[in-house]
Structure 1
């Protein structure tokens, strides 16, 4: 027994010594709320590693991406110790600059794989290497105005499929004389609704092996058909990012479907609507179908040029691989955890006053394990630009069927990327 206790003491002392050994300064690049969220984890990190100084630099989203590309192209010059990267842009770096970032498996990330949902690793992995650790995620849900639904006689518990959603939208149209719509879609500006619905149906621009274009596969056809049905039924309106927020503030939209990070967007832009909003699962394409998807999400990576990689990894591990770190960021800035153990934190079950005292995080995070994997690849933006145009043209009636529209999109994406269209 004494030997066991001595061994345990030795391990604790060794761990403490290792913490003391980490010192110096690490710089973190991030943006906006994400930067503030990372700053909120510094106190807990410094309790473990008091000799490490962390400097979080808020450079703005586009600037972080642009400076990262420039730094990697220059062989790692002028790069931070910790780099924030959006999942759908990550593979641009792994493909163009395979030596720019540290394989986190060499730091211990391979032991953490099962701690995160599989879909979060898809775009962060190249071959046997893991170049970034999952940070926040964007599980998709439907945010809705409790008061508007109630006035129109709509019970969100009865909305289980997209057909149910359309039926509810017709009630909203009738009640508010078409002045309130069920949702605002960025048709012609973005294809985010298509991506959410395609992911829900197990389809995306490319296959998960990143070897073929799959945008014209059945799940994607169903997704595009659904959007057309929403427009044909006149239950949605059109608006860009700013227009969507304007409609929320003005009470002209009864719902908003987005990744869960939109919770903060609604809450901060419409503080006067406190208590009027709620959340329910996105409708399924058919009865009993999947009611989960993902839109957005980021990760943290370590540039190979970092002179303090051990401290950088310790910072990432504290922020992302501990429930304490992830929940701190959820409380601080509403960043949705990817870490599965964080879904069991008591805070997740806490009633949120803005959301009518609904425990919205329990509903939102409960979908993580159901999200199908999807891969943006290094060609994500190429495919997105094609699909924005094709979706808008299909809604206008320039294609006879969704399959015809997506066959055309597949050909254009194949031409732009050099990847074959899957058969």
Structure 2
């Protein structure tokens, strides 16, 4: 991956040059389906794109996340009826579309997307967007995982986050932080309703629900067992306050939590949501690892853009993708104005990314977040992600409540259930 990162500036220069040539020639009207802040970001970038390419008109429709998913599935099932030119697709759901309706989407390699373009993005973002030799989506935003923390709470406890390299270090630090700041939890997790902690820790360990060739179930492999064991250690140590999404935000605002483990997109949630007097009190550090020399990078969340086969202007649609996603100009605009974390490897070199932030205590937070991109392990969602996640959610809750004798036993049970639902074999024990 280091080689890919080193070559990325050259690759991007080639991609941008070819994309600019195509963009100047592109004409037509294109419509994009997206949701919420993502839709706003695409519309903002569309203004710059249309200014440079007056022959193209771009319309972004904000339908909401679930509506985009449901209407895209329905449109594909109806042979492409009523679909737009471009759809937003969440990475972990992408393979549901490719598996059921591969003919519903344009293979981007037929429009000019090649190995040069692909090399501008980290491998983990590309894995779920391919089916065989076909590429059905271009990487958009990502979720490099970091620890968001309250500088003042750590300082009260005499804890230097640069010394936290392992989850055992995090536990030791957390006990000090909670003792020095009565009423404050070291961190929080949705103990009953979400698997995000497990998925972040497992991805860090190079493990996921399925193998990277999507041919077997790997949730009971050692990396996943270590992830679930680690999560329970944190919970049993009394460091993980039970909280759903909204309760975490309330705790951030109230100053009752010292750390949140999330994808980089959570930066905007904190910065724009907490009271003004918390400015300068927050910072970011690299997620700890299971072992002293282990990986310290993971991803949570992220999307792509796909061009439908129903598009009447696929060349114009691809030119837009080249500008919005294949250039630092497009991706950093969406980062700067909407907090969408780029997947483009060269974005880390942008002057904005390297700026120190007053809110984050003078830290160049985006440089630290994006620096982890080349180190993130791929993780296949497959068409069965939803089934596997629902099973793991129940098993995880049981394990945290002491219903299994070990993490291995819990994940063996999960693997068996996933096998029954998907028909995929459980990978041999390592």
Same fold, TM-score > 0.5, yes or no: yes
Q: Quick check: 1:49 aligned with 2:53?
A: yes
Residue 419 of structure 1 pairs with residue 394 of structure 2? no
Match of 2:285 among 257, 280, 283: 280
Q: Deviations over 1:190-223 (max 9, x none)?
A: 0000000000001000000101100000000000
Q: Partners of 1:409 and 1:341 in 2: how far apart?
A: 39
Q: Which one has the largest radius of gyration?
A: 1
Determine the C-alpha separation between the residues in 2 that align with 1:321 and 1:271.
Answer: 36
SS in 1 for 2:352: helix
> Structure 2: which 5+ residue stretches go unaligned?
1-17
Measure, in 2, the Cα distance between the counterparts of 1:50 and 1:139.
Answer: 35
**Residues 24-39 of structure 1 correspond to what in structure 2 (within 5 A)?**
24-39=28-43
Provide the rounded CA distance (Å) in 2 between the counterparts of 1:36 and 1:264.
Answer: 15
Q: 1:334 aligns with which of 316, 339, 360?
A: 339
Task: Name the residue aligned to 2:153.
Answer: 148
Q: Where do 5+ consecutive residues of structure 1 fail to align?
A: 1-13
- CA offsets 1:362-381 (integer angstroms, 9 cap, x no match): 10000001001110101011
DSSP 3-state at the match of 1:318? helix
Residues of 2 paired with 1:116 and 1:63: CA distance?
28
Equivalent position to 1:81, from 79, 85, 91: 85
Distance 1:314 1:401 in 2: 52
Alignment correspondent of 1:260: 264
**Normalising by structure 2, what TM-score?**
0.93
1:121 to 118, 122, 126: 126
CA drift at 1:15: 9.5
1:90 equivalent in alignment to 2:122: no
Partner-residue secondary structure (3-state), 1:54: strand
Deviations 1:134-182 (A, max 9, x none): 00110000000011111122111111110010001111221233x1111
Could you tell me whether the CA contact under 8 Å between 2:253 and 2:275 is conserved in 1? no
> Using the alignment, how far apart are the partners of 1:167 and 1:408 within structure 2?
31
TM-score by length of 1: 0.94
* Counterpart Cα distance in 2 of 1:250 and 1:17: 52
For residue 338 of structure 1, give the secondary structure of its aligned residue in structure 2.
coil
- Offset, 1:43: 3.0
Q: 1:234 to 1:39 in 2, by over 3 A?
A: same
Classify 1:16/1:128 alpha carbon distance in 2 versus 1 (closer, same or farther; 3 Å). Answer: closer
Per the TM alignment, residue 48 of structure 1 is displaced from its structure 2 partner at its CA by: 2.8
1:349 partner SS: coil
Distance of 1:412 and 1:15 partners within structure 2 = 46
Number of residue pairs matched by the alignment: 409
Counterpart secondary structure, 1:353:
coil
**Kept after mapping to 2: 8 A contact 1:122/1:373:** yes
Distance 1:350 1:420, change over 3 A: same
Distance 1:64 1:240 in 2: 24
Which residue in 2 is equivalent to 1:230? 234
Larger displacement relative to structure 2 (51-60 or 400-409): 51-60
Which consecutive aligned stretches of 4+ in structure 1 deviate over 2 angstroms post-superposition? 14-24
Question: Contact 2:19 / 2:322 at 8 angstroms: preserved in 1?
Answer: no
Query: Counterparts in 2 of 1:402-413, with a 5 A limit?
Result: 402-413=407-418
Counterpart residue number, 1:10: none
- Which range moves more in the overlay, 130-139 or 340-349? 340-349
